[in-house]
Amino acid sequence: DAKTTQPPSMDCAEGRAANLPCNHSTISGNEYVYWYRQIHSQGPQYIIHGLKNNETNEMASLIITEDRKSSTLILPHATLRDTAVYYCIVQEGGTASKLTFGTGTRLQVTL
């Protein structure tokens, strides 16, 4: 069963912020929120992860609600190269933990 719910697709104009939502209402206390993206015909790429605090790195920001039931991935200045399928995944910590992919959000960045 999917642990996350994401909209199937979104559009964003180049240069604008892309805000990708994710619902994970059944997340447990020891599960992290991970975001990956997959550009067409490539392996997925890690973007960012968090437990309960908001996180930012060179690629994106992750905003997690206080109840941890949802989160938003923010690409502050989307470019055409950000066109991809974005996956939100909840997972326990630990090296043996497997990633279960849902259907993701297909983000199309346009001129």
- Smallest distance, other proteins to C-beta of residue 94, A: 8
Q: Which is nearer to other proteins, 58 or 66 (CB)?
A: 58
Length of the chain: 111
- Does residue 32 belong to the site contacting other proteins (CB under 8 A)? yes
**22 within 8 A of 36, measured Cβ to Cβ:** no
Listed residue (110, 97, 92, 105) closest to 36, CA to CA: 105
Applying CB under 8 A, the span of 12-20, 23-31, 60-68, 89-97 interacting with other proteins comes to 89-97
- Smallest distance, other proteins to C-beta of residue 46, A: 4
Q: Phi/psi of residue 80, each to 5°? A: -60, -30
- Does residue 44 belong to the site contacting other proteins (CB under 8 A)? yes
Alpha-carbon gap, residue 85 to 106, rounded angstroms:
4
Contact pick of 1, 8, 42, 111 for other proteins (by CB under 8 A): 42
> Is residue 30 left, alpha or beta, with left meaning phi > 0 and alpha meaning psi from -120 to 50?
alpha
- Smallest distance, other proteins to C-beta of residue 12, A: 21
Where does this chain bind other proteins (CB under 8 A)?
32, 34, 36, 38, 41-46, 49, 87, 93-96, 98-104
